[in-house]
Amino acid sequence: MSDATIVLIVMTVGTFALKSAGPLVLGDRALPLRMQQLVDLLPAALLAALTIVSTMGDGREVVIDARLVGLLVAGFALWRRLPFVVVIVVAAAATALTRLIS
């Protein structure tokens, strides 16, 4: 079995457990307040870490390349409240253009 298949199986079982815990087990009961606050904050830390690592990471090296230009343009597009699709397209276009020029 390949690594990817093992990860797929583990994530399928684990993710379904996380998704169905509320509807199947908790019902109408709410999590303790502190846990709820943590669950509410975790995605911010993770998405920020993923953004940085996928922009500046290359294995174990920190690199600054055309992806960073794409990310800055994406940030500008989000600040201008442009739709999700447009944000992705302008980020990709800015990155492609930067590579073309340099």
- Range 37-76, binding another protein (CB under 8 A): 37-57, 59-62, 66-67, 69-71, 74-75
28 within 8 A of 34, measured Cβ to Cβ: no
Cα–Cα dist 64/53, whole Å: 11
Confirm or reject binding of residue 101 to another protein (CB under 8 A): no
Among 64, 85, 101, 102, indicate the residue that binds another protein (CB under 8 A): 85
CB of 98 to another protein, least distance (A): 8
Confirm or reject binding of residue 80 to another protein (CB under 8 A): no
Site string for another protein, 10-29 (x = CB under 8 A): xxx-xxx-xxxxxxx-xxx-
Cβ neighbours around 5 below 10 Å, total = 9
Give the list of residues 6+ apart from residue 31 with CB closer than 8 angstroms, or none.
39
